[in-house]
Amino acid sequence: MHESILVYKGFRWLKLSVAMVAVAVLAYAVHRPEVGPPNGGTTLGYVLGVWGLGLILWLAWFGIRKRRYGVGKQNLEDWLSAHIYLGLGLIVVATLHTGFQFGWNVHTLAYVLMIAVILSGVFGVAAYARYPDLITENRRGMTQREMLSQIAEIDAKARELSVDLGDNIHNEVMRAAEALAFGGSAWRLLRGREPDCPAARAMRRVGEMAMDLPKADAEKGHQLLELLARKVQSVERVRRDLSHKAMMDVWLYFHVPLTFALIAALTAHVVSVFFYW
């Protein structure tokens, strides 16, 4: 309907980020270090290092800015668009700072953490582009609570119907209603499917048992089967919904803690280069 964060204001932040990267690359190409190969210890190295650190702190500030409501002139959309493009530009700035000198040390740990944060961010942007539409499509105008109450309603009806259809069927229906659970481990949540779904199992078993029902009960058996099939559909839909939502959230569980780790590692990096170099 209108602009997404990526195209926001005619790619304003992409342009700015490209300009920033260009300046860094140019400086790197022109700069002749005083001694040795290019690295974080040269004049330009210091400049790029401070620049990178500044960017990282500013990027992390987004977590606070996001929760400061009703203040500031910019929309959060503006901030996020900048966050994404300048965050990507950071790769170049920081890499040039290192002068491609990597090793098994706290400096490179900071670098790796930074890349991890950025990669998780890229995943996030991809998730934000993909899942909103899938959610809308899957939900068919219902809220999650409505979907759940629909399932509860089906359960109640199925229980009522099954009372007359013998203990086996009734127990199966009752057990399926009790065994149904959503979520559980993160992995199950994300997967969005359940190979051994109690609702599907109950449907299959009741389907088998219903074949042996006396003729007078056959119609009730069909109705019950219909209900259980509808329930399977609804349950699958809820699972898909939970999984979509989880996909949009999961990466933040990496993005944010890694940000804290990154800041810690950077502190160590900066302290160490000042005190022990």
Partner 1 sequence: MAEHFKVAIIGSGPGGMSAAGRAAQNGVAHVLLEKTDHLSDTIYKYQKGKLVMATPDVLPLRSPMDFAMGIREDVLGIWDRQAAELKINVRFNAEATKIAKGDKGFTLTINGKETIAADAVVLAIGLQGNLRKLGVPGSDNHPRVQYQVDDPDEYSDETIVVVGAGDAAIENAVALAKQNKVIIVNRSGEFARAKQGNLDLISKSLDKGVLDCMYNSAPVKVENLSGDRMKLTLKTAEGEALVECDRIIARLGALAPRAFVESCGIQFPSKDPTALPELSPTYESNVKGLYVIGALAGYPLIKQAMNQGYEVIEFIQGNKVKPADEPILERKFAALLDRYTVDELLHAIQKTIPVFSGLTVLQLREVLLGSEVHTPQPGDAVFRRNEFTNTFFTIFEGEVGIEINPDDPNERVPLGPGEFFGEMGLISGRRRSATVAATRPSVLIETARREMIKLIKSVPQVRAAVDKAAIERQIRTYLAPNLSATYMAEVMSTAKLRPFKAGETVFNEGDPADGIYLIRNGSCTVSQRLAGREVVVNYVPAGNYVGEMALVRDRPRAATVKAAINTETVWVEAAHFRMLMDHMPELRHEVEKRIGAMIMQDEEISARPETGSLIEALVKEGAKEAADMLLIDESLCIRCDNCEKACAETHGGISRLDREAGPTFASIHVPTSCRHCAHPHCMPNCPADAIHKSKDGEVFIDEKCIGCGNCERDCPYGVIHMAYAADEKPGLLSWMLFGLGYGPGEDKAAALGEHHGAKLAVKCDLCKDIEGGAACVRACPTGAAIRVRPDEFFSLITKAGP
- Binding region for ligand HEM (CB under 6 A): 39-41, 45-46, 49-50, 52-53, 56, 59-60, 62-63, 66, 80, 83-84, 87-88, 90, 94, 97-98, 101-103, 105, 107-108, 110-111, 114, 117-118, 121-122, 124-125, 252, 255-256, 259, 266, 269-270, 273
Q: How far apart are CA 127 and CA 139, in angstroms?
A: 18
Count of chain residues binding partner 1 (CB under 8 A): 40
Give the side-chain half-sphere CA count within 13 A for 189.
Answer: 11
Residue 215 binds: one of ligand HEM, partner 1, none (C-beta under 5 to 8 A by kind): none
Q: How far apart are CA 223 and CA 169, in angstroms?
A: 13
Q: Return the beta strands (E) in the chain as ranges.
A: none
Residue 108 binds: one of partner 1, ligand HEM, none (C-beta under 5 to 8 A by kind): ligand HEM
Q: Determine, following the binding rule CB under 8 A, whether residue 160 of this chain makes contact with partner 1.
A: no
Work out how close the CB of 87 gets to ligand HEM at its nearest, in angstroms, rounded to a whole number: 3
Closest CA to 33 of 24, 23, 44, 22: 44
Query: Do residues 90 and 118 make contact, with C-beta atoms less than 8 angstroms apart?
Result: yes
Distance of alpha carbon 88 from the chain centroid = 18
79, 123, 182, 254: which one binds partner 1 (CB under 8 A): 79
Residue 231 binds: one of ligand HEM, partner 1, none (C-beta under 5 to 8 A by kind): none
Tokens of 51: 């620049």
Using the minimum distance from each CB to partner 1, give the nearer residue, 133 or 212: 133
Work out how close the CB of 30 gets to ligand HEM at its nearest, in angstroms, rounded to a whole number: 20
Residue 196 neighbours by CB distance under 10 Å? 7
Q: Determine, following the binding rule CB under 8 A, whether residue 10 of this chain makes contact with partner 1.
A: no
Query: Do residues 35 and 102 make contact, with C-beta atoms less than 8 angstroms apart?
Result: no
